[in-house]
Amino acid sequence: MTAEPFDAVDVIRAKRDGGRVPEDALRWMVDAYTRGYVADAQMAAFAMAVLLNGMERDEIRVLTEAMIASGERMSFAALGKPTADKHSTGGVGDKITLPLAPLVATFGVAVPQLSGRGLGHTGGTLDKLESIPGWRAALSNDELMAQLSDVGAVVCAAGTGLAPADKRLYALRDVTGTVEAIPLIASSIMSKKIAEGTDALVLDVKFGSGAFMKDIDRARELAETMVALGADSGVRTTALLTDMTTPLGLAVGNANEVRESVEVLAGGGPSDVVELTVALAREMLALAGRPDVDVAAALADGRAMDTWRRMIRAQDGDPDAPLPMPRETHTLTADRAGVVTRLDAFGVGVAAWRLGAGRARAEDPVVHAAGIDLHVKPGDVVTAGQAVLTLSADDPARFARALESLDGAWEIGDTAPERAGIVRERISA
Active site residues: 87, 166, 173, 188, 192
Q: Cα–Cα distance between 18 and 16 in angstroms, integer?
A: 5
The amino acid at 266: A
Residue partners of 294: CB distance under 8 A and separation at least 6: none
CB hemisphere CA count around 327 (13 angstroms): 9
Alpha-helical runs (H) found in 121-215? 125-129, 141-150, 164-174, 182-196
Q: Cα–Cα distance between 129 and 133 in angstroms, integer?
A: 9
Q: Cα–Cα distance between 202 and 426 in angstroms, integer?
A: 10
Q: Cα–Cα distance between 331 and 375 in angstroms, integer?
A: 10
Residue 380 CB neighbours (<10 A)? 15
Q: Cα–Cα distance between 8 and 32 in angstroms, integer?
A: 9
Q: Cα–Cα distance between 159 and 425 in angstroms, integer?
A: 32
Residue partners of 145: CB distance under 8 A and separation at least 6: 76, 78, 79
Q: Cα–Cα distance between 84 and 90 in angstroms, integer?
A: 19
Length of the chain: 429
Bridge partners (DSSP) of residue 83 are: 110
Q: Cα–Cα distance between 104 and 202 in angstroms, integer?
A: 12
- Single out the residue of 60, 311, 83 nearest to residue 197, CA to CA: 83
